[in-house]
Structure 1
Amino acid sequence: MSQYKKLLLIINPVLRHSPAIHHAAALAKASGASLHIAALVQSLDILALLEEGIREKARQSYLKDHSDWLKDQEEKMRGRGIEVTAEVAWADDMQQAILDHVSEMQPDLLIKQVQHESALKRAFFTPLDWYLLRHCPIPVYLVGASGHALPRMVVAAVDASDTESSNSELNDRIIQQANSLALQCNAELHLLYACDISAAYLGDMGGGGLTLADLTRELRRDLEKSFLRVAGRFGVPSDRRHFMTGSPVSVLSEFANEQQVDVIVMGRVQSHGLEKLLGSTTEHILYQVPCSVLAV
């Protein structure tokens, strides 16, 4: 049975060649879920310069153009046997408009194209995608620029370094989401852990004790055993288990590019302090990988 019954796709109707539409349609078809497309249009500042009567006509004409295009997309999807509805609406506050749609519809998944923002802009404003990762109460599927519309390779990125129950539960949710997505799409499921151990020098820890290098090797062995236990619990084949060393963002981006990954499934946690300003691993991955990211 599919884990998805209702999908919500948020699009910018100006970007009519967005891959998010094809990804959402393919997932709805594969899972048998209904799909609602919300084409949210931000207010045009230039319209404020027009007289009131002319401004209203311009707004309606602008919406009608997008509505006609969206109706054509609906008809094509229905022709493929997809249950789909759609709407075009103004959104003065995009963040709140999206969360309101989630609250009203209660979908199983929010789908949206990744919206790239410059590092300078990120320094002063929280990107829309980061905001959704932090505040959206349901899993968020952010569609990248590459990858098959229906995934063929799904990677669950887990953290085996923390055995606390909360982290273990998050790992379980990540793998369960990834496994369900892979099963629905007839894709390969891979498990990856980026082990970040820094050992810049060899130093004696004193009194004939272990060197830093020895401790690093021991820690690496323990973490690899922990990772293999997680993989074993979910029956992930040995050739699809990837224990790699390095910073998570670098490891995941290199792996995604080299292996032509379609979707990376990652966890998202509540940001605090400096991380809230700089962004979490999941948030930074959005700007480093060409594939889609499913955050749970």
Structure 2
Amino acid sequence: MKEYKKILVVINPTTDHQAALHRAIELATKSQAEITAFLSIFDFSYEMTSILSANEREAMRQGVIDQRIAWLNDLISDLKETQVKINTEVVWHNRPFESVINFAIAGNFDLIVKSTHEHDKLKSIIFTPTDWHLMRKAPMPVLMVKEHDWPIEGKILCAINVASEDEDQLNLNTKIINYAQDLARKFSASVHLVNGFPGTPVNLAIELPDFDAKTYNDSVRMQHEERVQKLALSYNIPVENCHVEEGLPEDVIPDLAIQLDAELVILGTIGRTGFSAALIGNTAEHVIDSLQCDLLALKPDGYKSPLED
């Protein structure tokens, strides 16, 4: 896997406690990487001040930017314990996710790190949060940070899909496990695999009276267990670290993460656009609100962000 050499941290302007920055420092220390603390700000009222000239509005915007630069520099200066190089960048932009992704692409960053929290369910249907945009559209890995620590000898949970023989999906499984094992070496953690499989279709049990639901379920479970264990064996992952559960991934993954007290979940995500993206989302987006630990979302190799078009 590609080493983290340049990490972009999305700063939360509403708090002095920057969980994402602290997590990035942990990663950078293990990888000899440098960090850029990135803050995107915008105030619509400055754009609506029609009595001011364009130059005056620009001066007002720059004044706000300068204030935020000073705040950010003070925040970083308090991190005296770190030897990691931390750069700063403050931009004025009305769409934070676009400014983050464009800056990350232009700067060839290897990883985006951002703190996250539970989103209001209704609002997240109408207004897609920045977190979701980043997971959908950023071509590089995105690490969503919560308040769970990363202790030594922790657990990293890889969400894999063995139901499909599609080459892209198989490659994504490989990428997920490679990232997990690299992080496991750096943090002396153990790697676990999780796979959810669908239960017996209700319509089959209703329409076919002689249908043996238990036998069907056992057969599907066995098939998934064999595939997961075969994959684990190829990466020297112990069989006892393989977890196959009946249910939807968005239910199975958070439940197991809690049972294991995992520090990190790694899964693959594909970009979505249009109406279906707003209403349905994907596994990563459903999982993020249910997790109590960090989430690392990976794109398939060759993925191109719609912002690059």
- TM-score calculated relative to the size of structure 1: 0.87
Unaligned runs of 5+ in 2: 299-309
Deviation at 1:272, TM superposition (A): 6.8
Deviation of 1:279 after TM superposition, in Å, equals: 0.8
- Segment drifting more, 267-276 vs 174-183: 267-276
User: Deviation of residue 49 (structure 1)?
Assistant: 5.2
- Give the distance between the partners of 2:297 and 2:270, measured in 1 at CA: 10
Pick the aligned partner of 1:197 from 199, 205, 212: 199
Aligned to 1:95: 97
For residue 114 of structure 1, report the CA deviation from its aligned partner.
1.9
What is the SS of the residue equivalent to 1:177?
helix
Give 1:24-43 correspondences, 5 Å limit.
24-43=24-43
Aligned in 2, Cα 1:15/1:225: closer, same or farther, shift over 3 Å?
A: same
Instruction: Quote how far apart the aligned CAs of 1:149 are.
Output: 8.0
The secondary structure found in structure 1 opposite 2:163 is coil
> Is 1:159 the equivalent of 2:157?
no
1:136-285 pair list within 5 angstroms: 136-148=138-150, 152-198=154-200, 200=202, 203=205, 211-271=212-272, 275-276=276-277, 277-285=279-287
Uncovered stretches (5+) of structure 1, i.e. residues with no partner: none
Letter in 1 for 2:9: L
Tell me whether 40-49 or 140-149 shows the greater mean CA deviation: 40-49
Q: Report which stretch shifted further, 210-219 or 147-156.
A: 147-156
CA distance in 2, matches of 1:256, 1:9: 25
CA distance 1:121–1:73, change in 2 (3 Å): same
Aligned-partner Cα distance in 1 for 2:181–2:275: 33
Structure 1 residues 51 and 206, CA gap change in structure 2 (3 angstroms): closer
Q: CA deviation at 1:168?
A: 0.8
Q: Give the secondary-structure state (helix, strand or coil) at the position aligned to 2:262.
A: coil
CA shift in 2, pair 1:203/1:290, >3 Å: closer
Distance 1:34 1:286 in 2: 26
The 8 Å contact of residues 202 and 213 in structure 1, kept in 2 or not, is answered as no
Cα distance change on mapping 1:118 and 1:152 into 2, 3 Å = same
For the 8 Å contact 1:262–1:292, the answer to whether it is kept is yes
Letter in 1 for 2:94: D
Alpha-carbon displacement from aligned partner over 1:40-95 (angstroms, at most 9, x marks no partner): 11225378459638866654454333222321343345752102211222222222
Q: Secondary structure at the match of 2:102?
A: helix
Displacement after TM superposition at 1:145 (Å): 3.5
The Cα shift of 1:229 comes to: 0.5
User: Do the aligned residues in 1 keep the contact of 2:193 with 2:232 (CA within 8 Å)?
Assistant: yes
Q: Is the 8 A contact 1:4 1:33 kept in 2?
A: yes
In 2, Cα distance between equivalents of 1:109 and 1:119:
27
The percentage of aligned residue pairs carrying the same residue is 25
**2:69 match:** 67
The 1:159/1:131 distance shift into structure 2, 3 A limit, reads: same
Cα offset for 1:153?
A: 2.1
CA distance in 2, matches of 1:207, 1:124: 43
* Aligned equivalents of 1:224, 1:63: Cα separation in 2: 54
Q: 60-69 vs 3-12, which deviates more?
A: 60-69
Q: Is the 8 A contact 2:195 2:245 kept in 1?
A: yes
Moved more, 84-93 or 103-112: 84-93
Residue 266 to residue 151, structure 1, CA distance change in 2 (3 Å) = farther
Please name the residue that 1:127 is paired with: 129
Distance 1:50 1:293 in 2: 44
Letter in 2 for 1:19: A
